[in-house]
Amino acid sequence: MYNTVKEKLARGEKVIGGTIDTPDPKIYRAMAKAGLDFLWIEMQHSPMTYQEAANLIWAGHDLPVVPFIRVPDATEGDIQKATDIGALGIIVPMVDEPGKVENAVRFAKYPPLGVRSHGGGQYRDLWGNDYRGTANDNIMVVAQIESPTGVENVDRIAAVRGVDVVFTAANDLSSFSGHPQGSPGHEALVEKIKEATLRAGKKLGGPVDWLNREGYSFFQTLSATSMIPRGVKDLLNSLQNPPSTS
């Protein structure tokens, strides 16, 4: 087992990932050194290419952070490329029906669990010569619920074999449902996802603001480009307002 995120979740620990929406390897490495458990490479809402994503993953190959990719869709081509370049986590957006995440599992796993073909890639240089025999145990699939339709089908989605985490996309759930975050309507949808996920024995994910919510263990932070100005502001504040020594 070399997927430390999967190991930590199995031990009942919480994991936090930083979001990468830029192809700059220096930013990737800086985030990888910050103490995060995984990096969420954003390919649904960014123009990043798989070659650029591959360069990021390789840039962090000597650092103890696990690469995840949010693919644009659960297509065979997207998932094949993501796994071939070494991602150990596949985040599937807009899961409204179980069939979508069933396909993601099939394309992410080698036979007999799936239909992933034995192509080339940098995965062996990253994870070892025994990768073919170990990949199925290490690659994780995360299903994102973003709409009321996904909530309606969450019991069947969470029950799909091979799904490791069900993730509540709080902002999109608000957008698609029309219920503001924190409102009773939004909270009812969130609670339904939680109950179904935990009942299925899967891990529950959400935004890092929910770190102290009961039942959640897999969290996403803001993007790297949003975290940088926060860090600069914190530094300036500490310089301008040093702690009292009295």
Q: Which of 45, 118, 179, 186 is catalytic?
A: 45
Q: Which two tokens stand for residue 17?
A: 């990932």
Least Cα distance to 177 among 157, 166, 193 occurs for: 193
Q: Which two tokens stand for residue 147?
A: 């709409």
Q: Burial of 68 by CB count in 10 Å (0-12 exposed, 13-18 middle, 19+ buried)?
A: buried
Q: Where are the beta strands (DSSP E) in the chain?
A: 15-20, 38-42, 66-70, 89-92, 140-145, 165-168, 203-207, 216-223
Residue 54 near residue 74 (C-beta atoms within 8 A): no
Q: Which two tokens stand for residue 213?
A: 């919510």
Q: Where are the beta strands (DSSP E) in 28-180?
A: 38-42, 66-70, 89-92, 140-145, 165-168
In the annotation, is 45 catalytic? yes
Catalytic residue IDs: 45
